[in-house]
Amino acid sequence: MGKKVIIAEKPSVAKEFAKVLNVNGVSKNGYIESNDYIVTWCVGHLVTMSYPECYDEKLRYWNLSTLPFIPKEYKYEVIPAVKSQFDIVCNILNREDVDTIYVCTDSGREGEYIYRLVDFMAGCPNKNKKRVWIDSQTEEAILNGIRDAKDIKEYDNLSDSAYLRAKEDYLIGINFSRLLSLGYANSLAKSINEERSAISIGRVMTCVMGMIVSREREIRDFKKVNFYKIQADLKKDDEIVNSEWKSDENSKLYTPASLYNETGFKKKEDAEKFIDILNKKEGEVTVLDVSKKTSKEKAPLLFNLAEIQNECTKKFKITPDDTLQIIQELYEKKLVTYPRTDARVLSSAVAKEISKNLNGLAKSNLEENVKKHLNKMISEKYSIKLEKTKYVDDSKITDHYAIIPTGQGFENYKNLDELKRNIYHLIVKRFLAIFYPQAEFAKVSVTFDVKGEKFYTSGKVCQKPGYLEVLKDEKQDDKKEEVSIEGLSKIKKGDALILSELKIKEGETTPPSRYSSGSIILAMENAGKLIEDEALREQIKGSGIGTSATRAEIIKKLININYINLNNKTQILTPSIKGEKIYDIVRKTIPDMLNPELTASWEKGLTMVADGTIKSEEFQAKLEDYVRSKVVKYKKARNEYLYGM
């Protein structure tokens, strides 16, 4: 019986597999070997797509006549910097004493691509190849992953999707970058006082740059509008109740032309006139209606990568890339599950075993301010049955479920620095919150008749914090609001109050907010829509721009090539002058590249290939037709402009 090869994506992961499988053999340069196993690793990507000059030396020089460049067969090459490790892996995969290869690269499209390229360049060794697919690096998950490994052919659709993603980025990047650089690079360089310049275009990158430029211009073009609201201070016994006027068609002072909206006037003099008229009117203040309601609120869904990247940007002012690197480290230290996930729910299989995660946390050396929430769960005997809750939904999981603590890896916990611990605590608390009761709120709404005009007020207070005990550092009950609702609760329909004062509250419209490095990730996840409301985000969620694995890298690249700027203290993103110039060039020539919906549709197409919904040949044909048509259209327009042809 031959030897088994374990091939991981990184040395640290490979060594963890070796430890779990008791591979105590000889540690050599680039691999570990025992009687039964050879454990080796990639160092990220070992193979990449070849540049055009590898197809034809003439293509080294950029020329419109050579575009579009669409190879019939794609070429690949070993990355020179990691050739020594590739050679080691290649020799191992082709050894005669090896009969089984366990592919243990990261469980996702990119991890699949990393191995498939190595396999291809190694000559597609005729071995029994099995795919290990795991959600955490705990001992149990690794052993189960090896035991349940499937034939790698079952992941061929995922592999096709990975190859197509690379081809898509390659064709769009090379053709459109060369096309626009040949047409506009010189004028761009002059306009930004650079000696020379090139225009880099990317399927996702250009779209994201466009979102940031477009938002900046919205802010720049924003015209502030003032408005004026009418407020009434009403006296009930010794308490003052604040209320606000809203217009309706029954209002004696209803003048639509002068209103900014139902609650305010466009001009201050109209608001002053309203107050003057109302002050002179005879009449009383009575209570027309009192509405008392209670509402309940469940804990939010669990973290996926985009959600926690946004949360860490807000709380810790770090980039999405920093967040990903930290959670990847927590994953490799067995503390959390796989980070590159779009799902915010658990699978039914994981939900049935969730007590293992909780028991592990209970035995851990977590800080008291975090562990107290688990202790309360235990003492209050909160249910841990999740199967019929919104936190479990197999239909919303593709490759991986949400990021949760494994309940293991605590031998590594004590060595985490403060930031890493804080991010781990965020994941733990979001996880514990789903077992807590709902938060309960009481709301009182009152409608007043003030001399024939309707004024309104309301108050809301948290009566039972429930899950908020976990997710809020301090109790959120605002004391002023508590007093307000206590006072409102005493008011009854038909009560008479005294009008103490009518006054104007001035307000103004505000421009849209700039993207932060975290909020842009959420906007990318939702195809260009920055949706602040978490519940609504989840409802409209579909195919986004890029993937959870690539979005942070896209932002990082845009910063590195000086297309956008990042304020490190605030994490606010703004376009550079260069980025704005390129935006205008793209908008004039290939405006499709700025369309978030189109970019998201390409990503959806890749997902459909991975799902087996469409054939890879169909996707590739559409991709090539798209690139070809855009290049031909641009060249035709250019010739008509230059030569009248």
Active site residues: 338
**Torsion angle of the four alpha carbons 74, 79, 85, 89, in this order, in degrees rounded to the nearest 10:** 0
Sign of the CA dihedral with 610 first, then 613, 614, and 619 last: negative
Closest-CA residue to 345 (of 300, 396, 407): 396
Take residue 177 and report the two structure tokens written for it: 């970058």
For the chain, helix (H) and strand (E) counts, in that order, are 22, 19
Whole-angstrom distance, CA of residue 53 vs CA of residue 31: 34
Question: Which of 239, 269, 267, 263 is CA-nearest to residue 251?
Answer: 263
Report yes or no: 53 and 69 within 8 Å, Cβ to Cβ: no
Handedness of CA 385, 387, 393, 399 (dihedral sign): positive
Instruction: Report d(CA 168, CA 204) in Å as an integer.
Output: 10
Provide the Cα torsion 245, 249, 251, 255; round to 10°: 80
Burial of 644 (0-12, 13-18, 19+ CB in 10 A): exposed
Cα–Cα dist 515/69, whole Å: 35
State how far the Cα of 519 lies from the Cα of 513, in Å rounded to an integer. 10
Supply 334's token pair. Answer: 């067995």
Classify residue 555 as exposed, middle or buried by CB count within 10 Å of its CB (0-12, 13-18, 19+).
buried
Could you give the CA distance from residue 637 to residue 644 in angstroms, rounded to a whole number? 9
- By residue count, the chain amounts to 645
Residue 140 backbone phi and psi in degrees, to 5 = -60, -45
Peptide bond into 320 cis (omega under 30): no
